[in-house]
Structure 1
Amino acid sequence: MSREQPPVLAAASIGSYGYGAYLADGSEYSRDYGKSVTKEALKNFHRRRLQVLADAGPDLIAFETIPNKLEAQDGINAASGDSITECAAAADSCERVAAVGVNCTAPRPIHGLVLSIKKVRHRAVVVYPISGETYVAETKEWVQGSAGASGTNFVSYVGKWRQAGAALIGGGCRTSPATVRAIAGALREDDAIAEKR
């Protein structure tokens, strides 16, 4: 018996205050926006953007790369230094949060993070790691670090992430369409093996 195909949903993505082109200083990774950025300033920054996205009628709104607890306010991140289980528990207590996950993280630690999230998270877990390279704000370049993974190695983790409890798997910064195709292929292969059992 084949698995029922899940519905296709469209998500509108909203990044952090520091994300990418807005500040372009790497603060989405460092979580340091400076002392002048207050909770009220962050709310004002997001309010208009959220309204535009909500008016477009997406199925979901994805808050991505929110590295600062002040910005998230409900503790749904771990880059601030908070325990990942505390963050997941806070998100799990909100009925409107459909999924919690990890992005902007190298592939290697993802398995352990998913296991930690699943200890307290009873709804979907999403992961879409970066390639493992590090962004250098001063030069605006990505450099390969020891936590990096080639496209092939990246995809070799997919089965472990799924077994740990990740329901939605993709690729973030510095992955490619070929990486995403390979992830889809690995997931289909896992499904085919499961159907033969």
Structure 2
Amino acid sequence: MDFRQAVTQPLVLDGAMATELEKRGVDTNSDLWSARALLTDPNAVYAVHRSYFDAGADVAITNTYQANVPAFEKIGLSAAASKALIAKAVQVAQQARQDYLATQTEPRDLYIAGSVGPYGAYLADGSEYTGAYQLSRQAYQIFHYPRIAQLVASGVDVLALETQPNFAEIQAEIDLLQAEFPQQLAWVGLSIKDAHTLCDGTPLTEVVAYLNQQPQVVALGVNCTALINVTAALKALRAATTKPLLVYPNSGEAYDPSDKTWHTQPNTPQFRTLVPQWQAAGAQLIGGCCRTTPNDIQQIRQTIKR
């Protein structure tokens, strides 16, 4: 089924990559974050994808959030080697899908989403939660083009423009898709300050009004925000768009960019409690972001089934 059709029904997205890599002994404490595993342990990346398919995910998001060519070049790789790693990220997700489907007795439609993190992720200073950076439209496009081109060439089903905090950057990315990849579908996961505001201060109504006019954007919503922020954000988005809504929040823990650590918050609710609220508020694509696990994705799958 084409992904544009798929988003008209409930879909379960996967969960965190870095958390699961760390459980497998992979060091992610660098500017490359989880993308470092593409160099050091691609088999671990495969294993994480497979664990999410086993848990019930319909969509695997590639390990390319921080995997951009400038970041790889900073550690001494050539542009060609950098692009090969991005292609590798897609290949291991595709292989995990293929191997999972080989164990199933009934056919399932499973999808690969190519992760595209914002420029703020490349800065590796928490800027994806502030949007406090500014480049020209051309500079944004020069930054994003090599990764997007490789993801498209590698055959992803949809691009996941994730944790996007900066409206000017979002517009530059969509313009790039229109000009260079007019057949490529995408979803947009917004990084929000609150239920009505993008992290850079732009009203969500303005952002959504723009995205409503973009036929390549097949779903929009929020990701990597706290669980307790989601319902209000979905209600605000539903009032502004008829596009399918997506949500994949973090675990509810708080991130400290100064030391790149997460801190547990008390009384954090469970996915099984919140998913019915999110569906009632219009969410079609539901998964997890930072610090979520296959158990969380299994909760989502079981709750959506009920």
Q: TM-score, normalised by structure 1?
A: 0.82
Are the equivalent residues in 2 in contact too, given 1:84–1:113 (CA < 8 A)? no
Q: In 2, distance between residues paired with 1:18 and 1:103?
A: 15
1:27-76 per-residue CA deviation (whole Å, 9 max, x = no partner) reads 1112223x5x4332211110111100110122211100111122112797
C-alpha distance 140-5 of structure 1, shift in aligned 2 (>3 A): closer
Kept after mapping to 2: 8 A contact 1:103/1:172: yes
**Equivalent of 1:69 in 146, 167, 173:** 167
The answer to whether the 8 Å contact 1:99/1:125 transfers is yes
Gaps of at least 5 residues in structure 2 are 1-8, 12-108, 175-187, 191-197
Q: Is the 8 A contact 1:85 1:119 kept in 2?
A: no
Are positions 1:23 and 2:123 aligned together?
yes
Task: Find the aligned partners of 1:58 and 1:39 in 2 and give their Cα distance.
Answer: 25
1:184 is displaced (CA, Å) by: 0.7
Number of equivalences: 179
Farther off after superposition, 178-187 or 6-15: 6-15
The yes-or-no answer on 1:44 pairing with 2:142 is yes
Structure with the bigger RCO (C-alpha within 8 Å, sep 6+) is: 2
TM-score normalised by length of structure 2 = 0.54
Check 1:5–1:123 CA distance in 2 against 1; reply closer, same or farther (3 A cut): closer
Does the CA-based 8 Å contact 1:131-1:154 persist in structure 2? Answer: no
2:230 counterpart of 1:132:
no
The residue identity in structure 1 corresponding to 2:130 is: S
**Structure 1 residue 133: deviation in Å?**
1.8
Distance 1:5 1:116, change over 3 A: closer
Per the alignment, in what secondary structure is the counterpart of residue 44 of structure 1?
Answer: helix
Following TM superposition, by how much is the alpha carbon of 1:83 offset from its aligned partner in structure 2, in angstroms? 2.1
* Pair 1:5–1:164, CA change in 2 (3 A): closer
| Aligned partner letter, 1:52 | Q
Is residue 113 of structure 2 the alignment partner of residue 11 of structure 1?
yes
Q: Deviations over 1:135-190 (max 9, x none)?
A: 212111112346x725xx2331100000110001001111111111111111111x
- Corresponding residue for residue 296 of structure 2: 179
| Distance in 2 of aligned mates of 1:126 and 1:59 | 16
The structure with the largest helix share of the pair is 2
How do 1:110-129 residues align onto structure 2 when only pairs under 5 Å count? 110-129=230-249
| Partner secondary structure for residue 135 of structure 1 | strand
* Whole-angstrom distance in 2 between the partners of 1:138 and 1:118: 35
- 4+ residue runs of structure 1 moved beyond 3 angstroms? 4-7, 74-77
Contact 1:100 1:125 in 2 (8 A): yes
RMSD: 2.3
The structural deviation recorded for 1:130 is 0.7
The answer for the alignment partner of 2:205 in structure 1 is: 85
Change in CA separation of 1:69 and 1:5 when aligned onto 2, cut-off 3 Å: closer
Greater CA drift, 125-134 or 157-166: 125-134
> Equivalent residue for 1:97?
217
Whether 1:32 and 2:132 are equivalent positions in the alignment is yes
Q: One-letter code of the match for 1:95? A: P
Q: Percent identity of the aligned residues?
A: 36
Shift of 1:9: 2.5
SS at match of 2:115: strand
The DSSP-based 3-state class of the residue aligned with 2:297 is helix
SS class of match (2:110): coil
